[in-house]
Amino acid sequence: MQLMAWSDQFVTGLETVDTQHHALVNLVNAAAPHLAQVGDGAVRAAGPFLDKLFQYATTHFRDEEQLMREAQLAPEYVDQHQRTHVAFVDEVKLMQRQAELEGTVSGSELLRFLANWLTFHILFEDKKMAAQMRAIRSGVSPAQALADVARNEGAPQAVHTAALIDLFTLLTERNRKLVQANESVRAAQEELAAANRMLETRVQQRTAELAATNVALEQERQALVVSMSRLEQTQGQLLQSEKMAAVGQLAAGVAHEINNPIGFVSSNLSSLSSYLQKLFDLIQVYEQQIAAPSEAIQAARTQADIDFLREDIPSLLQESSDGLSRVQRIVSGLRDFSHVDDGQWRGADLNETLEAALNMVWNEIKYKAEVVKELSPLPEVECIAAQLNQVFVNLLLNAAQAIEVKGVITLRSREQGESVLIEISDTGVGMSAEVQKRIFEPFYTTKAVGKGTGLGLSICWEIMQRHQARIEVKSAPGEGTTFTLLLPRVHP
């Protein structure tokens, strides 16, 4: 199900704005099949979708308002445009509260609201904003640019009006409970006013008391909002910890089940190699003792190709042993991951964590890049190793994806004062300065639509902030990229 189809009609000519609009249309289309369901499915889908919508609005509106300030648009227009942003954010927050506390958000109403708002905002407000910016760049004053845009409005005005009417209708339906409550309050206020008209002094006293009470209630409300925000963050962290704990338990079980057969297969290969060597030694003694072997023996020897077997069997056994060693390293990485995935802070060797991450993504790297390791011995770092493992995995995958044909990925580590430094470098396509400024923003990606979520590096940034560590990037187009991580040895 595709709610909206992106077309040239939506293009404003502002690269940042158009990219974000396109991302929002994709986000809405991806959620539309779930929100359009009848019953609990749409209610369950509404909450996560509204969270993504709020994150998008925060980033998109900030960027739009920054563009308007830089272009020096007319203040009255900037104020009016910002009010549309505030109205949208307020409505999303209201729906978030309804989805969380009441579970009454309608998926079809939500899709209708978004379709109307997108039509209004893109075709009217953002087109109007882009037209003013173009006029100002051509030398027109901000006031004249605003006047020209207002004078040239045509067909989009009709679309805007219809969408706006539908939007306000939806808002009226959604807020009917609030209207009924306000009517009851107004009726009570009228009765109170009628009773208190003869007691003016009493009214003044009560008003002062109520004002003081309202101040106290507002303070309590603000404190409650802060507490609820902290509770939401804590719940999210607990949910993530539970997910990671489940993954850790699965990894521990798999490592345990695989480790036992690996042990006896490895032992059997070693014994088999010893037994075969003894057999070949015995055959050699027989050949030395029999001066003139019979034709039957010669034929059997030729058929068995003893010389070839003597050369090939040790090679086969060595390859099998190397394969088992590779499996053992992977199992060891799984076991280490399961031990540290309880969300607890403890000492860890980041060289081992980096090696475990490399093992996990080796299949994605081995055909595209040679891995060069310049790892120095490191002291233990107090950290949540599973989270740093996630950072290393994301950076290694990004490095491999940045290499178009064949290249080199270099891993470096060293102690630096009271910190530990990790570097992951690649010889890939590199990034421009403009891209580097935005790579840690949520939902920002340079990949094609459907190829990336734009969340990988923002998650890395969040994990590094949680460790009170630094993550820096150095890159240039055609010269590759280096990510540098600097982590304190002791968590503050």
Angle at 264 between CA 260 and CA 269, to 5 degrees: 145
Q: What is the pLDDT of residue 173?
A: 55
State the Cα–Cα distance between residues 216 and 206, nearest whole angstrom: 15
- Which 3 state secondary structure label does DSSP give 485? strand
Residues 6+ apart with CB under 8 A from 350: 378, 381, 383, 388, 413, 420, 422, 487
CB atoms within 10 A of CB 473: 16
Residues 6+ apart with CB under 8 A from 115: 3, 4, 28
Q: At 474, which helix (H) or strand (E)?
A: strand 470-475
β partners of residue 425? 410, 482
- Which 3 state secondary structure label does DSSP give 367? coil
DSSP states along 309-329:
HHHHHHHHHHHHHHHHHHHHH
**Pair type for strands 481-488 and 419-426:** antiparallel
Q: Which residue has the tokens 């004002």?
A: 211
Closest C-alpha among 125, 191, 120, 128 to residue 160: 120
State the Cα–Cα distance between residues 339 and 343, nearest whole angstrom: 10
Q: What is the pLDDT of residue 176?
A: 46
Task: Return the DSSP state at 441.
Answer: S
Q: What is the pLDDT of residue 30?
A: 85
Q: Which residue has the tokens 């009441």?
A: 102
Q: What is the pLDDT of residue 203?
A: 78
State the Cα–Cα distance between residues 479 and 485, nearest whole angstrom: 20
Q: What is the pLDDT of residue 139?
A: 92
Residues 6+ apart with CB under 8 A from 438: 444
Closest C-alpha among 336, 366, 335 to residue 351: 336
One pLDDT digit (tens) per residue for the chain, 492 residues: 566 778 888 888 899 998 998 888 888 888 888 877 777 777 778 888 888 888 998 999 999 999 999 999 999 999 988 988 888 888 888 888 777 766 666 777 777 777 777 777 777 788 889 999 999 999 999 999 888 887 876 555 545 545 554 555 555 455 545 534 544 665 777 787 777 777 788 778 888 888 999 999 999 989 888 888 777 766 655 665 565 556 556 666 776 677 778 877 878 888 888 888 888 888 878 777 776 777 777 787 788 777 788 888 888 888 888 778 777 766 665 665 555 445 678 899 999 999 988 988 888 888 889 999 999 999 999 998 888 988 998 899 889 988 988 899 999 999 999 999 999 999 999 988 888 888 887 666 766 544 555 567 877 888 888 888 999 999 999 899 999 999 999 887
Backbone angles phi, psi at 482, to 5 degrees: -130, 125
Q: At 143, which helix (H) or strand (E)?
A: helix 142-151
DSSP states along 371-420:
EEEEEPP---EEE-HHHHHHHHHHHHHHHHHH-SSSEEEEEEEEEETTEE
State the Cα–Cα distance between residues 92 and 332, nearest whole angstrom: 46
Q: What is the pLDDT of residue 198?
A: 79
Kindly compute the dihedral angle of the four CA atoms of residues 435, 459, 363, 475, in this order, to the nearest 10 degrees. Answer: 30
Residues 6+ apart with CB under 8 A from 262: 324, 327, 328, 331
HSE-CB at 351 with a 13 A cutoff on CA atoms is 12
Tens-digit pLDDT profile for residues 428-478: 999 888 888 888 876 667 665 445 555 678 778 888 888 889 999 999 998
Closest C-alpha among 176, 215, 180, 46 to residue 114: 46
